[in-house]
Amino acid sequence: MAALPNLITVEQFRQMPDDGRAYELHHGEVVAEFDLRVADVAVVSQARHDGIDPDDNLRGAPELVIEVKSPSNTDRKLRELASLSLANGGVECWIIDIESGSVTVSHRDGSSLRYRAPETIPLAAFGGGELAIVEILS
């Protein structure tokens, strides 16, 4: 029988020394104490922000998660991130691909749309308006 990996809790993760790198806690058991993720950019409502215990982390996914595609983010990892975010309370997940000049927006209903300049992303889920792709990529 294979040995289990050495899992650590979120509290143990918080106590790790800061060496200047950005770390995330992934794939422990399916319990909050074994999973902590950090988005490149995250947006939460003011009401939800006001309810966060300053000595704790946000529970569930932010309403909007934005990840910038990089060599360390495979397409599979990005799909997993979007799926995880949307399954845990997220409204949208945006993947910014600087190289292709596009932003892929994934929605709770499983649909996704890719936007390129000069297009704009509608912000209906966040109160209205729109955001131009050129503003994101500049």
Residue 92 above 90 pLDDT?
yes
Report residue 30's pLDDT band, with 50, 70 and 90 as the boundaries. Answer: very low
Residue 4 above 60 pLDDT?
no
Q: Give CA–CA dist 54/35, Å, rounded.
A: 18
Q: Map tokens 């995880």 to a residue.
A: 84
Report residue 23's pLDDT band, with 50, 70 and 90 as the boundaries. Answer: low
What integer pLDDT is reported at residue 31 of this predicted model?
34
Extract the tokens encoding 67: 């990840």
What integer pLDDT is reported at residue 39 of this predicted model?
86
User: pTM (2 decimals)?
Assistant: 0.75
What integer pLDDT is reported at residue 17 of this predicted model?
79
Provide mean pLDDT across the span 52-70: 90
Report residue 100's pLDDT band, with 50, 70 and 90 as the boundaries. Answer: very high
Write down all domains in the chain, each with its CATH number in brackets. Answer: 1-36 (no CATH), 39-137 (3.90.1570.10)
Neighbouring CB atoms inside 10 A of 46's CB total: 7
Provide mean pLDDT across the span 4-12: 73
Sheet-wide strand order for 102-107: 41-43, 64-68, 92-97, 102-107, 112-116
